[in-house]
């Protein structure tokens, strides 16, 4: 019995295992809206070019609208024997409108169909990611403004380094998210060209208008090379790369939340909304949401790696290997969407322990750099000498188990006689953060200014008029 998709070339049906490995409808059914939109644009173009009749095009579009309603409403029966979304739609279209359905596939191939559908899908994913990251930024900015003057320890090597403000720390992730959004925007610009009409690999002899279909689908232009149009998935790779970097940023923040919420550190608290308990230890409050954001980052990076490996050895043009481009990517994009929303929720939920933060900010002689800067600024001491003198003063304070601002002035003067009582004014954590007024610094004044700049920018994006 001839396979109805392959026509007369094949006389037997495929083996059951061949059907199983070849089928993709379980995954690409998620492209139904994009597939139908592309088919409607193609049908309209075929009619405009006189390749099919206007009546056939009208019936095709009407049938496609019916199918869209059926799938959206959950009443469409996907058939695995038909392999993919394209053949499932075409088969149902034939049931609805008869032989005219067969004319829809004129001057196209499943190769350019799937490339078009997936570009439309990824474009939608990018738009959704941008909106989610903008909401994440807004949450961060609102909390940064609220905590512009809340002092906390800043770390390098996970060791207390210098005092910063909690608002300043949050704004760091606003900047990272801005670059993430920029990478997605760049990827969107490059993917926004239409493969439709490239057909299997060589174009078509029919007098189609690829610019018309590109415009109808919101693409900037049709892709200029038919081989390239059907054979590359760099648009998916680039978007997965942007997603992976964004996920890494989220994961780093999630890791900080896990550390900060530990009773050993105790800098912040999460409410019941974003924590879970233990089945055996009633006292536990686990930051599971943050931990799962960390874990989902691995899935996203793994999807990028998997597709790179699929693509690395493929000659032009289309190869069936490329059917594996969608499952991992769709999972990754879904994981990123969930992670961004979870992190946004935690940002709005998190409550810093301001008293504990202030104490921790002064631990580990965090204002030692302020002392060295004072020696340079007031005594005109070369920084390397000031660094050495400060190190000796810190060692003296450590001997007595004292913070710097509690060390007696006489003990400091025994190491550097020119030090005056004025030095005490720079050794508190509040004075330290207040002094960091250089552009991009942690001073509360800077943080408020930057937060307000971001609020205006985000509001302008949301209301461009």
The SS3 of residue 222 is: strand
Token pair in block for residue 175: 């900047």
- Strands, E, within 185-293: which ranges? 193-194, 221-222, 268-269
Contact 150, 352 (CB under 8 A): yes
What are the catalytic residues? Answer: 157, 278
Lowest mean pLDDT among 51-60, 210-219, 282-291: 282-291
Angle between helices 444-462 and 166-191 (to 10 degrees): 30
Query: What are the C-alpha distances in Å from 18 to residues 22, 78, 81, 83, 241?
Result: 6, 18, 11, 11, 33
Closest C-alpha to 218, from 84, 140, 127: 127
* Bridge partners (DSSP) listed for residue 269: 351
Percent of the chain surpassing pLDDT 70: 98
Rg (CA), the chain: 30
Concatenated DSSP letters for 406-433?
GS-HHHHHHH-TT--GGGGGGSSHHHHH
10 Å CB burial of residue 292 (0-12, 13-18, 19+) is middle
Six token digits for residue 343: 């992190």
Lowest mean pLDDT among 127-136, 157-166, 176-185: 157-166
Model pLDDT, residue 1: 32
Strands 268-269 vs 159-165: parallel, antiparallel or unpaired: unpaired
Does residue 208 carry a pLDDT above 60? yes
pTM: 0.92
Among the listed ranges 21-25, 127-131, 256-260, which one has the minimum average pLDDT value? 21-25
Distance CA(166)–CA(187), nearest Å, equals 33
What confidence tier does 10 reach under pLDDT thresholds 50, 70, 90? low
For the record, the structure tokens of 462 come out as 């949301």
pLDDT of residue 287: 93
Short-list 402, 399, 406, 370, CA closest to 387: 370
Q: Which pair of structure tokens corresponds to residue 130?
A: 């941008």
Q: Mean pLDDT throughout 146-157?
A: 96
The model's pLDDT over 301-314, given as tens digits with 9 standing for 90+, comes to 999 999 999 999 99
pLDDT at position 2: 39
Q: What is the H or E stretch that residue 164 is in? A: strand 159-165
Task: Judge contact between 47 and 57, C-beta under 8 A.
Answer: yes
The string over 131-144, giving b where at least 16 C-beta atoms fall within 10 Å of a residue's C-beta and e elsewhere, is ebbbbbbbbbbbbb
Residue 74, phi-psi category: left (phi > 0), alpha (psi -120 to 50), beta (remainder): left
Distances (CA, A) of 164 to 169, 258, 362, 363: 7, 19, 10, 13
Q: Which residues contact 147 (CB under 8 A, 6 or more apart)?
A: 165, 166, 167, 170, 352
Listed range (6-15, 118-127, 253-262, 398-407) with the worst mean pLDDT: 6-15
pLDDT band at 241; cut points 50, 70, 90? very high
pLDDT score of 7 more than 80: no
Q: Which phi and psi angles does 71 have, rounded to 5°?
A: -70, -45
Taking only the tens place, the pLDDT of each residue in 15-55 is: 788 777 878 899 999 999 999 999 999 999 999 999 999 99
Taking the C-alpha atoms of residue 260 and residue 350, their distance in angstroms, rounded to an integer, is 11
Mean pLDDT of the chain: 94
- pLDDT digits over 286-306, tens only? 999 999 999 999 999 999 999
- Tell which residue, 267, 286, 268, 291, has the closest CA to residue 160: 267
């Amino acid at each position: 019995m001839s396979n109805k998709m392959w026509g007369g070339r094949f006389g037997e049906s495929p083996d059951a295992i061949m059907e199983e490995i070849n089928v993709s409808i379980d995954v690409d059914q998620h492209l139904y809206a994009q597939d139908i939109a592309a088919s409607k644009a193609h049908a309209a173009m075929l009619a405009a070019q006189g390749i099919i009749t206007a009546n056939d095009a009208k019936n095709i579009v009407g049938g496609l609208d019916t199918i869209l309603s059926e799938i959206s409403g959950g009443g469409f029966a996907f058939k695995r024997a038909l392999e993919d979304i394209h053949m499932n739609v075409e088969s149902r279209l034939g049931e609805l409108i008869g032989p005219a359905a067969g004319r829809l596939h004129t001057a196209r191939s499943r190769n350019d169909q799937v490339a078009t559908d997936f570009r439309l899908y990824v474009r939608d994913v990018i738009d959704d990611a941008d909106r989610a990251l903008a909401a994440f930024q807004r949450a961060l900015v609102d909390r940064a403004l609220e905590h512009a003057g809340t002092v906390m320890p800043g770390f390098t090597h996970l060791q207390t380094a210098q005092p910063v403000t909690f608002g300043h720390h949050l704004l760091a992730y606003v900047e990272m998210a801005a670059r993430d959004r920029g990478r997605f925007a760049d990827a969107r610009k490059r993917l926004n060209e239409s493969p439709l009409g490239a057909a299997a690999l060589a174009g078509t002899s029919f007098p189609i208008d690829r610019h018309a279909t590109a415009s109808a689908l919101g693409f900037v232009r049709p892709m200029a090379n038919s081989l390239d149009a059907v054979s590359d998935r760099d648009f998916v790779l680039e978007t997965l790369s942007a997603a992976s970097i964004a996920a890494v940023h989220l994961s780093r923040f999630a890791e900080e939340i896990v550390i900060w919420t530990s009773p050993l550190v105790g800098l912040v608290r999460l409410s019941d909304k974003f924590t879970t308990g233990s089945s055996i230890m009633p006292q536990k409050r686990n930051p599971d949401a943050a931990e799962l954001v960390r874990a989902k980052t691995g899935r996203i990076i793994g999807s990028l790696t998997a597709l790179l490996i699929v693509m690395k050895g493929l000659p032009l043009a289309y190869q069936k290997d490329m059917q594996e481009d969608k499952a991992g990517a769709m999972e990754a994009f879904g994981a990123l969407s969930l992670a961004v929303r979870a992190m946004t929720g935690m940002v709005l939920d998190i409550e810093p322990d301001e008293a504990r933060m202030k104490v921790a900010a002064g631990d580990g002689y965090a204002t030692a750099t302020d002392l060295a800067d004072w020696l340079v600024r007031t005594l005109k001491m070369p920084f390397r000498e000031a660094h050495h003198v400060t190190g000796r003063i810190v060692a003296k304070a450590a001997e007595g188990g004292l913070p710097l601002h509690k060390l007696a002035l006489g003990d400091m003067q025994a190491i550097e006689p020119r030090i005056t009582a004025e030095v005490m004014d720079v050794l508190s954590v509040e004075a330290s953060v207040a002094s960091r007024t250089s552009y991009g610094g942690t001073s509360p004044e800077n943080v408020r200014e930057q937060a307000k700049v971001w609020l205006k920018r985000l509001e302008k994006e949301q209301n461009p008029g």
